[in-house]
Amino acid sequence: MTPVITMAAARYRYPETDHDALGPIDLTVLPGEWVGVVGPTNAGKSTLCYVIIGLAPQFFGGRLRGEVSVFGSPTASQPVNERSRRAGLLFQNPFTQLSGARERVDEEVAFGPEAHGLPQAEVEERVAEALRLTGLQDLRARHPLDLSGGQLQRLALAALLAMRPELLLLDEPTSQLDPAGSRALFDVLRGLHAAGTTIVMVEHRLEAVAAMCPRVIALGEGRLLADGAPAEVFNRPEVQASAGIPAFARLAALVGKGPPLPVTFESAVEALRG
Amino acid sequence: MARGLSLYAEGSSPLHRAHPLTKATLTLCAIGLAFILPSWPLVLGVGVALLSLLAAAGVLRRFLFVAAGLLVPITLLLALVQSLANPHNQTVILPLGPLAVHREGLYIGLLAALRIAGLVAATFLFSFTTRPADLAEALMQRGLSPRFGYVIQSALQIIPQSLETADRIRDAQRARGLETEGPLPRRARAFIPLLLPLVLSALVATQERAMALEVRGFGLKVGRLARYRIPDSLGQRMLRWGLALAVVAALAARLLGWL
């Protein structure tokens, strides 16, 4: 099975800095995986997304060493807008992801497919599909600025989905959302994962990561601290010290359950009952 | 929903349905004629034609509302300054102590005001009946680069986006105790701490938006396909040429002294 992402001894350094923001990192992500990325501030989580999509170094400048390939193509040799045919990146701030040029939700979603030169009939089909997947069908005629934060983030996701990416990178997609908005977004992601989309999700809600991502990687100071199942990663002392642990695990630790600490709601309930 | 700098008013009149380039040509030619034609009856004729078109498009009332606030003060100012101080003034029609209102200056001032009214009416006729997105699309279908098309469309959205950001910053500052309402001096003081975060957030947003556009495939060298067909017709093409010829004819007649 050809990996979706391959990183071998990858290091990245932003311009005018004297240390690597990321790396060295070795990482392989296979098709259909859902990988959660956790770590404290400045751990290199966003930089990891930028390196995979190619914005670093193509947009930021700086120096990339080692090997980074997505779908077998080295990121250094493929422009980011070319890569957008197969991979998408959802940023933290939904507001700045708007094209800033469209007056309706459906026109906003159509922006990417149109930039790809798709025929209008296919653009419309993809827009309808993306709006349905994100539950925005009823808002298609609204102005994007009239949407709530949660709706706006779903619109940003719909805009990416309209390009039918096989790889979806999410950089703290719920950081500006309320619990209801986050739940709605996670529901969409569950559906995409079930349909086979590969997802790499940077997320600070550790409970959500533990519950949804079968694989978690923890970063610290740009390096890979741990890589494995949530129960394994969140029980590593170095991860607990830097990224923290899900609230359920903290609760279990307080009442003397573990190690190993339960990291999901269900396992915590079981441990507390036992 | 109309947001942004767009003044577009929903409608189904023939002018609303006309090709954006036809309306753009009509606007430019009307402005050209208003400034080329030398006498007030001819300029008034252009003005009446524009008012008729505004009425036909169902936006006359909206225009008159704007005109009352914009054109009346301009007309009064031009008439006053020209009638009192134009160097060609000779015939006094109203002595005002050391000053006097002159017929020549009054005529020049009113003619200038009439021309400005024509310019405003033509511009509003275009803005009220044309969606900016349709204009950008029509221009791109005529060979304009999609990058320039994007610039046109995004420029019209800058103001509402900035207002949205300013609202959020103002709310945050109000939550920290800053007085943002009340008398003018207090509001002016509140404006200063608003400005720096607004400018900084605009700069950050520009960088993030540039990245987001790249990720959405903007700038790909592909043959961009038309988003939708904007109907054009032989009649409209002939009208555009006719209007352009009318302007050229008026200019030639003016230069040759026939008008």
Q: Which pLDDT belongs to residue A257? A: 81
Residue contact B213–A103, C-beta within 8 A: no
The pLDDT value given to residue B209 = 87
Q: What is the mean pLDDT of residues B102-129?
A: 94
Write out pLDDT tens, residues B74-103.
999 999 999 999 999 999 999 988 899 999
Q: How far apart are the first and last CA of chain B?
A: 46
pLDDT at B10: 85
* ipTM score of complex: 0.84
Q: Which of A85, A91, A117 sits opposite B224 (nearest CB)?
A: A117
Give the mean pLDDT of B166-190.
77
Backbone angles phi, psi at A267, to 5 degrees: -70, -30
With contacts defined as CB-CB under 8 Å, which chain A residues touch B225?
A: 114, 117-120
DSSP letters for A53-108: HTHHHHTT--EEEEEEEETTEEGGGS-HHHHTTTEEEE-S-SGGGS-SS-SSHHHH
Question: How does pLDDT run across B126-176, given as a tens digit for each residue?
Answer: 989 998 878 888 888 888 888 888 887 777 667 667 777 788 788 888 887
CB of A229 closer than 8 Å to CB of A214: yes
Q: Which residues of A touch B222 (CB under 8 A)?
A: 115-117
Question: Given this model, what pLDDT does residue B5 score?
Answer: 54
C-alpha span between A150 and A171 (Å, rounded): 15
Segment B174-200 mean pLDDT: 76
Assess whether pLDDT exceeds 90 at residue A221: yes
Q: How far apart are CA B78 and CA B113, in angstroms?
A: 7
- pLDDT band of residue A233 (cuts 50, 70, 90) is very high
Cα distance from N-terminal residue to C-terminal residue, chain A = 41
pLDDT for the residue numbered B96: 87
Nearest to A100 among B209, B211, B226 (CB): B209
Q: Is the pTM of this model over 0.80?
A: no
Relative to beta strand A63-70, strand A5-13 is: antiparallel
Distance CA B147, CA B151 (A): 6
Handedness of CA B30, B35, B38, B44 (dihedral sign): positive
Confidence of residue B223 (pLDDT cuts 50, 70, 90): low
**CB atoms B224 and A115 under 8 Å:** yes
- CB-CB: which of B2, B132, B222 is closest to A116? B222
The Cα angle at residue A129 between residues A93 and A195, in degrees rounded to 5: 85
Q: What's chain A's average pLDDT?
A: 91
pLDDT of residue B234: 95
Which residues of A are less than 8 Å from B205 in CB distance? 93, 95-96
Percent of chain A surpassing pLDDT 90: 65
What is the per-residue pLDDT for A180?
Answer: 84
Query: Which chain A residues touch B146 with a CB distance below 8 Å?
Result: 115
What are residue A79's phi and psi, to 5 degrees? Answer: -60, 150
pLDDT at A259 over 80: yes
CB within 8 Å of B111: residues ≥ 6 apart = B39, B40, B43
pLDDT beyond 70 at B4: no
Measured between beta carbons, the chain B residues lying within 8 angstroms of A108 are none
User: Residues 6 or more apart from A130 whose CB is under 8 A from it?
Assistant: A109, A158, A159, A161, A162
The secondary structure element, H or E, covering residue A35 is strand A34-38
Instruction: Count how many residues are written for chain A.
Output: 274
Q: Does B218 sit within 8 Å of A110, measured CB to CB?
A: no
Cα gap B29→B247, rounded to integer Å: 6
- pLDDT tens digits, residue range B15-24? 999 999 999 9
Question: DSSP per residue over B116-140, as a string?
Answer: HHHHHHHHHHHHHH--HHHHHHHHH
Query: Inter-axis angle of helices A149-161 and A179-194, to 10 degrees?
Result: 20
What's the number of CA atoms in the CB half-sphere (13 Å) around residue B5? 13
Distances, alpha carbon A233 to alpha carbons A30, A97, B93, B224, in Å:
19, 32, 94, 47
What per-residue confidence (pLDDT) applies to B118? 95
Q: In chain A, whose CA is at the least distance from the CA of B224?
A: A117
Residues B233 and B92: their CA atoms lie apart, in Å, by: 54
Residue of B nearest to A56 (CA): B211
Distance CA A193, CA B49 (A): 61
Contact A3, A29 (CB under 8 A): yes
Which residue of B131, B154, B216 is in closest CB contact with A115?
A: B216
Q: At A20, list the tokens.
A: 């690597």
Q: Closest residue of A to B5, CA-based? A: A103
Q: Residue B57 pLDDT more than 90?
A: yes
Task: Tell whether B147 is within 8 A of chain A (Cβ).
Answer: no
What gap in Å lies between CA A217 and CA A35, rounded to an integer?
A: 7
Give the tens place of pLDDT for each residue, A191-210.
Answer: 999 999 999 999 999 999 99
Nearest residue of chain B to residue A57 (CA atoms): B211
**What's the gap in Å between the CA of A98 and the closest CA on chain B?**
7
Q: What is the pLDDT of residue A251?
A: 86
Q: Are A99 and B223 in contact (CB < 8 Å)?
A: no
Q: Is the pLDDT of residue A116 over 50?
A: yes
Contacts 24+ apart (CB under 8 A), A208-212: A208/A174, A208/A182, A209/A36, A209/A38, A209/A246, A210/A36, A210/A234, A210/A246, A210/A248, A210/A249, A210/A263, A210/A264, A211/A264, A211/A265, A212/A34, A212/A36, A212/A186
B15 to each of A219, B24, B32, B58, how far by Cα in Å? 60, 11, 20, 10
CA distances from B218 to A82, B139, B150, B160, B214 (A): 9, 18, 10, 23, 5
Q: Is residue B2 over pLDDT 60?
A: no
Taking only the tens place, the pLDDT of each residue in A21-70 is 998 999 999 999 999 999 999 999 999 999 999 999 999 999 999 999 99
The amino acid present at B220, given as its one-letter code, is: L
Q: Which of chain B's residues have a Cβ under 8 Å away from the Cβ of A70?
A: none
Distances (CA, A) of B221 to A12, B213, B217: 28, 14, 10
Locate the chain A residue with the closest alpha carbon to B4.
A103
| Averaged pLDDT, A268-274 | 82
Give the DSSP letter of residue B176: T
The region that residue A35 occupies, defined by phi over 0 for left and psi between -120 and 50 for alpha, beta otherwise, is: beta
Q: Which chain A residue's Cα is nearest to B204?
A: A96
Distance from CA of B144 to the nearest CA of A (A): 15
Contacting B residues, span 84-123, partner chain A, CB-CB under 8 Å: none
Instruction: In whole angstroms, give the CA distance from residue A81 to residue B216.
Output: 7
Does any CB of chain A come closer than 8 Å to the CB of residue B220? yes
pLDDT at B245: 97
Strands A223-228 and A215-220, by their bridges, are antiparallel
Q: What does the alpha-carbon distance between residue A205 and residue A189 come to, in Å, rounded to a whole number?
A: 15
Residue to mutate among B145, B158, B215, B228, with most A CBs inside 10 A, is: B215
Task: Give the tens place of pLDDT for each residue, A130-182.
Answer: 999 898 999 999 988 889 888 998 999 999 999 999 999 999 988 877 888 88
Three-class secondary structure of residue B1 per DSSP: coil
Strand residues in chain B grouped as ranges (E): 92-96, 99-102
Question: Contact at 8 Å (CB) between B59 and B123?
Answer: no
Mean pLDDT of chain B: 87
Sheet containing strand A22-29, strands side by side: A22-29, A5-13, A63-70, A73-74
pLDDT band with cut points at 50, 70 and 90 for residue B203: confident
Residue B1: predicted pLDDT = 42
Q: Give the pLDDT score at A212.
A: 95
- pLDDT, tens digit, for every residue of B33-44? 999 999 999 999
Whether the upstream peptide bond of residue B95 has omega within 30° of 0, thus cis, is no
CA A12/CA A23 separation, integer angstroms? 7
- SS3 state at B104: helix
Q: How far apart are CA A199 and CA A260, in angstroms?
A: 27
B227:A110 CB<8 A:
yes
